[in-house]
Structures are given as structure tokens and as C-alpha cells.
């Protein structure tokens, strides 16, 4: 499809192309599940220093407009943690709040990198309400940004994760919060979110299938590569849905097409929080398919992890264009990190680098420590550690936080379309 469009959507399985459509999430052809990928005619990245925050990388975002934001990833070369681990070229891609380094993701999470491109891609005159299911960080990012921009938004989250939905500014009434009570987890929130998104007046964000989400998350690799001046050798990140790993891989492919930053494929080092490690277990077993756990087994494992944001029971692993293929193409690694290892890594990072990090970032740092101890990375290799969320402790010191209270709380047995529609309509 030859076109002067900003981008096209291409199926990663059959190669069919589609014109830009903010609501298209999948290929129309009858074949196994696959992801669409944004293809940008402008293969040479031009950093737009005059645009705000993350939109300086608008060339590789599927949007035609930008939104006002100061936030972007901040990449810097580590000295203290690098010295401690015996590494010469360790770079930290920091996503959070850290005024001394001009890090200003106000929700302290790289999920803000998803929210802005997704919202900029939606037509300004769209009358429907966006629906997002979240385990915490994604919900906080979307609730904060939608509140700021007065965009109608419905968030679905497990009741046990409500403490994750906060902002340094009061939330606008355009944001509605629905909690799932009892022993519910992220997968229950996804199930409710799907039902709500199919009701009249609502539409789904799309998760891993939304190219704006993936290309926003991929800005961690974009910023790191631009800052370093070359494609890194290794990339470390904790994953729940796998979307961040796919995003890093796709950004790497774009730099290979650009040609000015080298010809390396970044080796993906991805990790999960023990005992909930479905993707790690599948990859280590050499399997494209994840072993299905019973709901009871899954929820028991999820209840034991400290990084709740890493607990998606239906990750984007097996499908075409998914995480399995990204790991295979980069000869990647996956790790399991215990709560204790994560906590020790968090303490070490704060002591050496000077800022607090989240449990998920602790998992990623723990995986880096494992890789060094196992000799999987070289002393002189260029390594990027993605600190996906950090600075929460510092944010609480600098601002009083406002917590969003739920408009509705559903019991698991109430997850039925008729009941949901009736109760949601009553508070609309």
C-alpha cells in the first residue's frame, strides 16, 4: 500500500495493510490471532525538540497531533550500580518522578507513555467513553491524563489494588472507577472491562492490540538508543502482559530500518515475579503455549507476589507478533525473581542511585543481578535497565495525593452483562 499517510497498519501474520484507524485492533483475514504493527514511511527518526515531552518522538507514534505533557523517559549512564555490578556501560531508562534528573512522569510510571499517544490518536469529537481494565499503573496513568484533558473515561480495577489509583491533582468527574471485589484479580477486571466496552456509548482501549500503546511503551528503547547513540546489546524489563517486551522489540526493528544506530538486535531479558511466572515457565520449557492454570491456582500465585502489576493471566505471548516471537528473534532470556530478591534489589537501587523504585522495577533489577551472576552479559556490553515505575516515595514527599474512590463495586458473581449494564446505567 503506497501512501503518504502518517502510518499504515500491517498484520504481522499475513502482511495485509490497512489505512490508519484508531479503533482497528485486528486483521480482518481469517487466520490465527495476530497483532497489527504500525509501519511509518519516515524510517529516519527526526527528534522534534520543539514538541513537549514524549511527543518529541512523534515520527514513530501513530498520531497526527500532540498533547501537552512534560513527561518522557529519561536515560542516563549509571555509575554506582554499574560499579557495584562490575559493568562499564549500564544505562538506566528511568520512568517516574525525579526532579533532580528532570524526570516528570507525574504518575511515576511508564504507563503514561501509553496514555498520551492513545488519547492523541482518538478523534477529538469522539462521543464515546474509553474503557480500560488495569492492575494499577495503567489505570492511574489513564485516569490522571483523562482527568486533566476532560476525556470521558471508565476504569475497571480489582478492589484490592485501589490504593494504586492516585494523582497529585483532584480527579475530574469525567473519570469513573469500577472496582471488582472479593478475591478478584486483573483478569476479572479485564473480563468486566470487555463487557462494559461493548455497551452502547463505550469503546475499548485494546491492550496489547493497540499500536499506540505499544509504540508509546517502545519510547523507552527509542530514548535509550538516541541518548546512547547506538542500539544497546541488552534490555531488561519486568513484564505482565508481555506488551513492554514486544514494544522494545518493535522499536529495535525501526532503528534497524533507520540504519544510523547500528545493526544489532537487542537481546531481550524479561522477567516475572515468582510464583506467578507463566511466560517465564513457557519460555524456559521451549514452548510457544502457556500452560493453563486453574483459576484457583492462578489466584493463589497472584496473591503471593509483591509486583501485582505483573499478573496478567492472558498475556500477549503466543499470538503472531507476540512476545514468544520477539524472544525467539533476539535469542532472549526470561527470569523468575522472588519477592525477597526484588526487595533487596529495590533497597540496593535506592542506596546506590538515590531514588525509590517500585516492586516491578525491583524485579527487573533483580533479573539484571541474576544475569550478571550467571555470566549472561559482558562487562563491556551496553545494557539498558528499564525502571518502569519509580519516585513514588519522592512524589508523596512533594505533593499531597488524591485517591479515586469507586463509583461501583461488583462482586465476582455479578459479572454478567445484564447486571453490569443496569448498574452502570444507573450511575451514568
What are 357-394's pLDDT values in tens digits?
A: 999 999 999 999 999 999 999 999 999 999 999 999 99
Q: Is residue 370 part of a domain?
A: yes
In this structure, the answer to whether residues 226 and 195 fall within a common structural domain is: no
Q: What are the grid coordinates assigned to 181, written together?
A: 471485589
Closest by Cα among 43, 302, 80 to 187: 302
Domain span holding position 234:
72-106+209-394
Q: Assess whether 218 and 352 both reside in one domain.
A: yes
Indicate if the pLDDT at residue 420 is higher than 80.
no
Contact 185, 158 (CB under 8 A): yes
Per the structure block, which three cell numbers stand in for 37? 504493527
Let me know if residue 60 belongs to a domain.
no
Place 410 in a pLDDT band, splitting at 50, 70 and 90.
confident
CATH number at residue 328: 3.40.50.1100
Residue 4: pLDDT band (50, 70, 90) is confident
The CA distance from 62 to 218, in Å, is 12
**Residue 75: pLDDT over 70:** yes
Same domain, yes or no: 311 and 367? yes
Domains held by the chain: number: 2
pLDDT of residue 51: 97
Average of pLDDT values for 41-54?
96
Instruction: Give the position of cell 509504540.
Output: 215
The answer to the question of residue 54 being in a domain is no
pTM for this prediction: 0.95
Same domain, 271 and 176: no
The answer on 161 and 132 residing in a single domain is: yes
Do 159 and 137 fall within a single domain? yes
Residue 428 CA to residue 423 CA, distance in Å, equals 9
Note whether residue 219 is domain-resident.
yes
Alpha-carbon distances, residue 108 vs 167, 170, 220, 318, 334 (angstroms): 10, 16, 14, 30, 25
Question: Is there a domain that residue 37 lies in?
Answer: no
The DSSP annotation for 285-350 comes to TT-SSPPPPPHHHHHHHHHT-S-GGG--SS-S-SSBTSHHHHHHHHT-EEEEE-HHHHHHHHHHHH
Do 293 and 273 lie in a common domain?
yes
The shares of helix, strand and coil residues in the chain, as percent rounded to the nearest 5, are: 40, 20, 40
Amino acid at each position: 500500500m503506497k501512501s503518504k499517510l502518517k502510518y499504515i497498519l500491517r498484520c504481522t501474520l499475513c502482511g495485509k495493510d490497512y489505512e490508519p484507524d484508531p479503533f482497528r485492533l485486528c486483521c480482518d483475514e481469517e487466520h490465527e490471532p495476530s497483532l497489527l504493527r504500525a509501519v511509518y514511511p519516515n524510517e529516519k527518526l527526526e527528534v522534534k525538540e520543539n514538541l513537549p515531552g514524549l511527543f518529541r518522538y512523534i515520527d514513530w507514534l501513530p498520531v497526527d497531533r500532540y498533547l501537552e505533557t512534560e513527561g518522557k523517559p529519561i536515560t542516563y549512564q549509571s555509575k554506582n550500580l554499574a560499579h557495584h555490578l562490575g559493568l562499564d556501560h549500564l544505562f538506566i531508562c528511568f520512568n517516574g518522578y525525579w526532579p533532580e534528573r528532570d524526570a516528570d512522569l507525574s504518575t511515576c510510571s511508564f504507563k503514561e507513555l501509553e496514555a498520551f499517544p492513545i488519547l492523541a490518536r482518538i478523534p477529538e469529537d469522539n462521543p464515546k467513553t474509553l474503557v480500560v481494565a488495569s492492575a494499577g499503573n495503567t489505570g492511574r496513568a489513564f485516569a490522571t491524563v483523562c482527568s486533566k484533558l476532560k476525556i470521558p473515561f471508565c476504569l475497571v480495577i480489582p478492589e484490592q489494588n485501589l490504593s494504586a489509583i492516585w494523582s497529585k491533582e483532584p480527579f475530574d468527574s469525567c473519570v469513573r472507577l469500577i472496582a471488582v471485589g472479593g478475591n478478584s484479580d486483573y483478569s476479572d477486571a479485564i473480563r468486566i472491562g470487555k463487557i462494559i466496552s461493548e455497551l452502547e456509548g463505550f469503546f475499548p482501549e485494546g491492550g496489547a492490540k493497540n499500536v499506540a500503546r505499544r509504540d508509546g511503551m517502545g519510547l523507552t528503547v527509542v530514548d535509550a538508543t538516541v541518548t546512547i547513540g547506538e542500539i544497546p546489546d541488552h534490555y531488561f524489563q519486568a513484564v505482565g502482559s508481555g506488551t513492554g517486551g514486544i514494544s522494545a522489540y518493535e522499536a529495535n526493528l525501526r532503528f534497524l530500518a533507520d540504519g544510523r544506530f547500528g545493526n544489532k538486535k537487542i537481546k531481550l531479558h524479561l522477567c516475572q515475579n515468582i510464583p506467578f511466572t507463566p511466560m517465564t515457565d513457557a519460555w524456559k520449557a521451549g514452548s510457544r503455549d502457556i500452560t493453563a492454570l486453574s483459576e484457583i491456582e492462578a489466584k493463589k500465585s497472584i496473591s503471593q507476589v509483591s509486583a501485582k502489576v505483573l499478573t496478567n493471566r492472558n498475556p500477549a505471548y503466543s499470538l503472531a507478533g507476540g512476545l514468544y516471537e520477539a524472544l525467539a528473534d533476539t535469542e532472549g532470556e526470561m527470569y523468575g525473581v522472588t519477592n525477597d530478591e526484588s526487595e533487596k534489589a529495590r533497597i540496593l537501587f535506592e542506596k546506590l542511585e538515590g531514588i525509590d523504585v517500585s516492586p516491578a522495577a525491583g524485579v527487573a533489577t533483580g533479573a539484571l543481578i541474576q544475569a550478571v551472576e550467571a555470566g549472561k552479559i559482558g562487562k563491556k556490553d551496553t545494557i539498558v535497565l528499564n525502571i518502569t515505575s519509580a519516585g513514588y516515595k519522592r512524589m508523596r514527599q512533594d505533593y499531597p495525593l488524591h485517591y479515586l474512590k469507586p463509583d461501583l463495586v461488583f462482586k465476582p458473581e455479578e459479572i454478567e452483562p445484564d447486571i453490569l449494564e443496569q448498574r452502570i446505567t444507573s450511575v451514568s
